[in-house]
Amino acid sequence: MNHESFLLDLVTSLPEINGAFLFTPQAGILSQHIDDSIRDFDSLAIGKKMTGIAGKASDHFHDITHLQATFDNIILSGRLLPEEKWLFLLHTHELSSGMIRMALQLALNNSVQESDNPATQPEPPVEKIAAIEPPVTKEIIPVDIESLMAPGAPLAKHLNAMQDALANCIGPAAIPVFQDVLTAWCQENTPALNTLKHLIPLLLTEIDDSEDIKFFNNNTKNLFPQE
């Protein structure tokens, strides 16, 4: 991961984000982008204190997804990324958790795509290897499925049609199965019309019956632009 471009992607993706920094308890600040509007900001002290709280909380809870500290004029949220890096975001009260998750997902996907493209790889070899680790070793990034499938969302029509087609093949289990597969797809793809075709093989692995597979293919083939 190129820390600089990852943070820049994130900070410029939404005007409500005023700053971001990457921190590890061992190395301190890896990179940061903080707006000029934020004054007297001590990112190192913040990183240490927030990860200290997370460490203490993990004595009780093993399923912490993120920390969010709300102040009168700003919100500080922290998430643990792969490779034990903490991402801290500063944003306004108007920004929803769902929007943050989407922006983060896109920035992570972009950073992975950059790592996969040799022309844009400034990273040393050791980090390239880390970027193409098998998915099973990666931290699962939460995906806002509700927003992706909400009426009016760019992919809602396609995703709902796929979920319906899956339900016709495997029954009521289709909803949780579809959500799991969608989450897996989002770990490797930027959610967009041109990457949607990569979702189909993942869904097909969930259908056992060959007739149902044909049925599913027939019901989804018209969803994609002709290539």
Residues that bind other proteins (CB under 8 A): 38-42, 45-46, 49-50, 52-54, 56-57, 59-61, 63-74, 76
Handedness of CA 178, 180, 183, 188 (dihedral sign): negative
Measured from the Cβ of residue 197, the count of other Cβ atoms closer than 10 Å reads 14
Q: Which is nearer to other proteins, 42 or 208 (CB)?
A: 42
Residue type, 137: T
> For other proteins, which is the closer residue by CB, 41 or 215?
41
To other proteins, the closest distance from the beta carbon of 122 in angstroms equals 31
**Distance of closest approach, residue 110 Cβ to other proteins, in angstroms:** 24
Q: Which is nearer to other proteins, 19 or 196 (CB)?
A: 19
Nearer to other proteins, 15 or 52 (CB): 52
**CA pair distance 202, 4, nearest whole angstrom:** 32
Q: Which residues contact 12 (CB under 8 A, 6 or more apart)?
A: none
Determine contact, residues 2/111, Cβ cutoff 8 Å. Answer: yes
**Min separation Cβ 224 and other proteins, Å:** 33
Q: Is the CB of 71 or the CB of 125 nearer to other proteins?
A: 71
Please report how close the Cβ of residue 94 comes to other proteins at its closest, in angstroms. Answer: 12
Task: Characterize 135-174 residue by residue with b for buried, 16 or more Cβ atoms within 10 angstroms of its Cβ, and e for exposed.
Answer: eeeeeebbbbbeebbeeebebeebbeebbebbeebbeeeb
CB of 213 to other proteins, least distance (A): 32
d(CA 109, CA 123): 16
